[in-house]
Amino acid sequence: MVSIKVARHAGFCFGVKKAIEIAEEVAQNNSDSTYVLGQLVHNEKVIKDLEGKGIIFVEDINEIPKNSITVLRAHGEPGTTYKILEEKSITKGKNLNDATCPLVTLVHNVAIKLKNNGYEVILYGKKNHPEAVGTSYHLKGKNTFIVEHEDDFHQAIDYIRKSNFAKIAIISQTTMSVLGYRKLIDNINSNFENKFAEIPLALKNLEIKYGFVDTICNPTKQRQSDIDELAQDCDLIIVVGGKNSSNSKELYAKAKEFGIDSYFIQSAEQLQREWLEGKEKIGVTAGASTPDYLINEVVERIRETTDS
Ligand code: SF4
């Protein structure tokens, strides 16, 4: 009989849970339409469920009518979003409900403090991810230097070398790979004349000239370290998550790095019988924006397929 092991921290993190609760509560308590700017969380099924509850999702801020009840997503927004909404009479305490995760706000605050203390801040993140866009707003906006992958370390070194920054700090998007971030710093340190040292998150020692701050959130770290556990004793790992979910993609990449057969799916219907053939222990995990019911459906489908 095939055994199925579900990761300890699979699925919703507290930030995503809170964002969904806020959106649901706001929609339930208001007879007027509730607008959400962008994907509240990166999961297509969750968005569909919320649309079924009357919530309207828009990608363009111009589609939000004046004076509308509005919810901002967990990933955080640049300050320009708040300004445009204010011009539409959409403000906090009135009709604006901000579901930005406190751990994203923490990264914004780290970015601001580093900048105010004379650092040129480089971001390890995905250029088009809303969180990276929001964090960049507090730095140099579109000119913020973003390094997307640990193998792109030479681009970061070139950028540092060609300018004459007094101090440089590297921070990370909350959902990046822990291992990738470590490799990026190691790669830079092995190929650059100056070494980057860790600046603790409390930012007490801001005398360091070249530093990095660990701003990957704990729920991301827990989900990534669960993959280590699954990889110890599973011969197949299934990752369940939204197509645009950065942290789900990182889980899948990490599972593949172990050389174990791994698949990234959005729902149980995508599971294929041949993936399961001959497997004895199947690990299942899910990104921070995947609801429990999708994980349970995948587990159930694996059970049905392997029992038949
Ligand atoms: S992944 Fe981390 S930063 Fe993003 S919503 Fe969850 S807890 Fe917050």
| Nearest atom (ligand 1) to Cα of 174 | 3
Of the listed ranges 88-97, 105-114, 213-222, 242-251, the one predicted with least confidence: 242-251
Q: Which residues contact 283 (CB under 8 A, 6 or more apart)?
A: 4, 5, 6, 7, 230, 231, 234, 236, 237, 238, 255
The per-residue pLDDT for 239 is 97
Distance 106 CA to ligand 1 centre (A): 11
The per-residue pLDDT for 122 is 98
Question: Options 3.40.30.10, 3.10.180.10, 3.40.50.920, 3.40.1010.20; which CATH number does 3-11+219-307 get?
Answer: 3.40.1010.20
Question: Options 3.40.50.300, 3.40.50.11270, 3.30.70.2190, 1.20.58.100; which CATH number does 14-100 get?
Answer: 3.40.50.11270
Structure confidence by residue, pLDDT tens digits, 128-155: 999 999 999 999 999 999 999 999 999 9
Amino acid at 247: N
Q: For the chain, how big is the Rg over CA atoms in Å?
A: 21
Q: Nearest 5°: CA angle at 34, between 30 and 35?
A: 165
| Mutation choice for ligand 1 from 106, 126, 175, 201, CB with most ligand atoms inside 8 A | 175
Distance 48 CA to ligand 1 centre (A): 21
What is the pLDDT confidence band of residue 42, given thresholds at 50, 70 and 90? confident
Q: Tell me the DSSP string of 96-144.
A: EEE---HHHHHHHHHHHHHHHTTEEEEEES-TTSHHHHHHHHTTTGGGS
What is the pLDDT confidence band of residue 245, given thresholds at 50, 70 and 90? confident
Domain ranges of the chain: 3-11+219-307, 14-100, 103-216
Distance of alpha carbon 69 from alpha carbon 166, whole angstroms: 45
pLDDT above 80 (res 308): no
Q: Do the strands 210-212 and 281-286 form a parallel or antiparallel pair, or are they unpaired?
A: unpaired
Helix (H, G, I), strand (E, B) or coil at 153: helix
